């Protein structure tokens, strides 16, 4: 009968446990010295060896002939516990035995001395799943445990375990295991099992397992139907797109090349690649680029290790931090929604479309990402409207249509004009709109904060009047019928935040707009360079419509 690798290779002694020596050494020493606690709690993510260590400990404390703190694996106690004939070692899954009745039954049983071995051991897995009343019942035994009793609790979610329980247990934290360590272990097992596993493939499997040996072995199991496991075998078995394809995809995204992105994805799809896995791979790449960007010196330590540093640096130079964050957020959003959708292909396609065209995102981060790109372009002397209007696949990054040349507002009123003609035409002075009754859209754009200030100034107290020209203290903007005023927190804000003061601004704005205006006062956030940039971006947009 075929036995899954992770069962077959489940460690039988502390020494065989991979990558948790800080726990296993301590436990071995306690067994040797006979200084055992009556209750332990093992904490750590899935597949890091908590239950395995609990079983080893249960054997070690009962073993008739322990070897350097390890169970011998040969005596009656070890054999009996291994094959399940010793009923004094009980494993419970709290996920399915979470009620108070289960724990009460356990308590009644626990008072009796063990029948076959020295200690009765209860291993309670996923202990955080217990109900509150079950926890209380458990607490009663932990408070005064009989000498023959030992509890080993295991959990992935420490924060859900009551402090009263924690304080009575000896805690041991299981770490995620390093990729190289898992990879080495996989290579060792493959050798023992007699199949070929390339070093690259071992590393990929180890990365995919995210620090869990059990997951790594399950993945290896899935690949082991092949005689030779190369990196492409792993990609194919796991339905992964692979480094080359994911890198190419990010390149399309950076170039805003939606058509190519969709074509490539379609190919992968027809090839049997999985949509969710692909988005996760893309997210991992984005994350690595971001790490390199925000922590260029130490960032390499944080990288998943899947990509060449040169590749990552290339992308880091082409994408702003905000863009990366926004892209990761977009991918995550679609990944989340993939769980409930009937047509995953469409979902991934929508994700790619919005990644290629950041103007489609309306989240704050999407706006931030646009602001960041604008700022980068301003810094390099390139100003373009193209980041703010839907694009039609520009070939390279900066070959955008000139400012205003494709402004849709003009398209149906007048024949298209050349950029020269647009430039030659003098821009109307904002003051011209003041007296003229023009259509609303134009007035909205025309009434500026400066005009409102000018109008309101004579009515205002000197404190406020002197702050008006200082943008770092206050600024404002018309949004439809609303005048948004932003002020620095503190004294000025308090002065402004009065019915009569805000009323003066409302009157000034209303007389300029020719209709009623509502005023909303907000604080500048302390570190909010982004909010300011956002406002600048919005005003930039409005100016362009004049």
Report the length, in residues, of the chain: 546
116 near Zn ion, rule: CB under 5 A: no
Report yes or no: 189 and 220 within 8 Å, Cβ to Cβ: yes
- Do strands 482-487 and 474-479 pair parallel, antiparallel, or not at all (unpaired)? antiparallel
State which residue, 63 or 366, has the beta carbon closest to Zn ion: 63
In the complex, least distance from residue 62 CB atom to Zn ion, rounded to whole angstroms: 8
SS3 149: strand
Rounded least distance, CB 57 to Zn ion, Å? 13
Minimum CB–partner distance for residue 66 and Zn ion (Å): 6
Among 17, 57, 61, 63, binds Zn ion (CB under 5 A): 63
Residues 6+ apart with CB under 8 A from 405: 416, 417, 418, 419, 422
Helix axis angle, 50-62 relative to 21-33, nearest 10°? 10
Report, in Å, the least distance between residue 72 CB and Zn ion: 3
Q: 330, 360 in Cβ contact below 8 A?
A: no
Which residues, including other chains, have CB under 8 Å from residue 267's CB and lie 6 or more apart?
A: none
Chain positions 204 to 263 lying near Zn ion, rule: CB under 5 A, are none
Using the minimum distance from each CB to Zn ion, give the nearer residue, 77 or 446: 77
Q: Is the CB of 54 or the CB of 510 nearer to Zn ion?
A: 54
Q: How far is the CB of 186 from Zn ion (least distance, A)?
A: 29
User: Using CB under 5 A as the criterion, what x/- string covers residues 398-427 for binding Zn ion?
Assistant: ------------------------------
Q: In angstroms, what is the minimal distance from the CB of 76 to Zn ion?
A: 8
- Range in contact with Zn ion (rule: CB under 5 A) among 64-72, 384-392, 446-454, 468-476: 64-72
- In angstroms, the CA 507 to CA 513 distance is 10
Q: Which is nearer to Zn ion, 60 or 509 (CB)?
A: 60
Residue 283: closest CA among 273, 271, 291, 295 = 291
Q: Which residues sit opposite 151 in a β-bridge?
A: 39, 122
Instruction: Quote the least distance from Cβ 59 to Zn ion, whole Å.
Output: 6
Q: Which two tokens stand for residue 142?
A: 């932990």
Cβ proximity to Zn ion: between 58 and 153 the closer is 58
- Sites for Zn ion among residues 67-86 (CB under 5 A): 71-72, 75, 78
For the bound state, the minimum distance from the C-beta of residue 3 to Zn ion, rounded and expressed in Å, comes to 22
Q: Is 480 left (phi over 0), alpha (psi -120 to 50) or beta?
A: left
CB of 84: closest distance to Zn ion in angstroms? 16
Backbone angles phi, psi at 522, to 5 degrees: -130, 155
Q: Which stretch binds Zn ion (CB under 5 A): 58-66, 185-193, 336-344, 503-511?
A: 58-66
Nearer to Zn ion, 72 or 376 (CB): 72
Q: Mask 8-47, x = binds Zn ion (CB under 5 A)?
A: ----------------------------------------
Cβ neighbours for 208, distance < 8 A, ≥ 6 positions apart? 215, 216, 219, 234, 238
- CB nearer to Zn ion: pick between 78 and 447: 78
Interface region with Zn ion, contact rule CB under 5 A, candidates 19-27, 55-63, 428-436, 439-447: 55-63
Closer residue to Zn ion (CB): 89 or 138: 89
Binding part of the chain for Zn ion, among 59-67, 111-119, 120-128, 210-218 by CB under 5 A, reads 59-67
Judged by CB under 5 A, how many residues of this single chain contact Zn ion? 5
Select 67 or 166, whichever has its Cβ closest to Zn ion.
Answer: 67
User: CA-to-CA distance for 279 and 349, rounded, in angstroms?
Assistant: 11
Q: Which two tokens stand for residue 353?
A: 């479309």
Tell me if 127 sits within 8 A of 102, measured CB to CB.
no
Of 63 and 285, CB closest to Zn ion: 63
Tokens describing residue 263 = 């074509």
What residues contact residue 466 under an 8 Å CB cut-off, 6+ apart?
A: none
Phi-psi region of 72 (alpha: psi -120 to 50; beta: other; left: phi over 0): alpha
Considering the complex, what minimum distance in angstroms separates the CB of residue 104 from Zn ion? 32
Q: How far is the CB of 118 from Zn ion (least distance, A)?
A: 11
CA 447 to each of CA 305, 410, 426: distance values in angstroms, whole numbers, following the listed order: 54, 21, 19
User: 144: which residues sit within 8 A by CB, 6+ positions away?
Assistant: none
Would you say 82 or 391 has its CB closer to Zn ion?
82
Interface contacts to Zn ion, rule CB under 5 A: 63, 71-72, 75, 78
């Amino acid at each position: 009968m075929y036995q899954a690798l992770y069962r077959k290779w489940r460690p039988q002694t502390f020494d065989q446990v991979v990558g948790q020596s800080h726990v296993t050494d301590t436990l071995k020493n306690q067994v040797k010295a006979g200084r055992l606690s009556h209750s332990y709690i093992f904490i750590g993510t899935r597949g890091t060896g908590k239950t395995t260590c609990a079983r080893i400990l249960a054997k070690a404390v009962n073993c008739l002939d322990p070897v350097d703190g390890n169970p011998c694996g040969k005596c009656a106690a070890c054999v009996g516990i291994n094959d399940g004939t010793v009923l004094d070692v009980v494993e419970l899954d709290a996920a399915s035995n979470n009620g108070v009745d289960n724990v009460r039954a356990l308590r009644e049983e626990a008072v009796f001395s063990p029948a076959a071995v020295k200690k009765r051991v209860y291993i309670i897995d996923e202990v955080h799943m217990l109900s509150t009343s079950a926890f209380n019942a458990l607490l009663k035994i932990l408070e005064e445990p009989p000498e023959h009793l030992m509890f080993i609790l295991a959990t992935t979610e420490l924060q859900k375990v009551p402090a009263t329980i924690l304080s009575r247990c000896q805690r041991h934290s299981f770490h995620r295991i390093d990729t190289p360590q898992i990879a080495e272990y996989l290579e060792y097992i493959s050798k023992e099992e007699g199949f070929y596993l390339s070093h690259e493939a071992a590393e990929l499997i180890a990365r995919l397992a995210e620090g869990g040996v059990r997951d790594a072995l399950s993945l290896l199991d899935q690949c082991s139907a092949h005689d030779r496991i190369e990196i492409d075998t792993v990609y194919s078995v796991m339905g992964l797109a692979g480094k080359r394809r994911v890198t190419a995809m990010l390149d399309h995204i950076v170039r805003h090349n939606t058509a190519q992105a969709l074509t490539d994805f379609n190919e992968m799809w027809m090839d049997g690649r999985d949509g969710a896995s692909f988005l996760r791979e893309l997210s991992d790449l984005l994350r690595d680029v971001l790490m390199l960007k925000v922590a260029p010196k130490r960032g390499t330590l944080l990288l998943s290790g899947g990509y060449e540093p040169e590749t990552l640096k290339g992308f880091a130079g082409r994408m702003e931090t905000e863009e990366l964050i926004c892209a990761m957020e977009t991918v995550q959003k679609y990944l989340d929604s993939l769980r409930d959708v009937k047509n995953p292909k469409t979902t991934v396609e929508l994700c790619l479309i919005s990644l290629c065209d950041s103007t489609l995102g309306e989240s704050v981060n999407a706006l931030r990402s646009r602001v960041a790109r604008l700022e980068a372009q301003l810094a390099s002397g390139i100003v373009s409207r193209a980041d703010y209007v839907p694009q039609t696949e520009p070939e390279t990054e900066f070959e955008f249509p000139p400012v205003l040349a494709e402004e849709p507002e003009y398209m149906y009123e007048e024949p298209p004009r050349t950029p020269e003609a647009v430039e030659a035409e003098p821009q109307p002075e904002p003051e011209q709109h003041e007296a003229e009754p023009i259509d609303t859209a134009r007035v909205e754009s025309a009434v500026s904060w400066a005009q409102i200030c000018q109008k309101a100034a004579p009515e205002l107290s000197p404190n406020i009047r002197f702050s008006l020209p200082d943008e770092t203290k206050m600024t404002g903007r018309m949004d439809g019928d609303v005048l948004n005023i932003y002020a620095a927190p503190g004294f000025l804000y308090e002065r402004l935040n009065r019915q009569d003061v805000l009323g003066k601004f409302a009157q000034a704005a209303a007389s300029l707009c020719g209709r009623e205006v509502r005023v909303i006062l907000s604080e500048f956030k302390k570190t909010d360079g982004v909010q300011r940039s956002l406002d600048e971006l919005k005003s930039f947009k409005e100016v362009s419509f004049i």
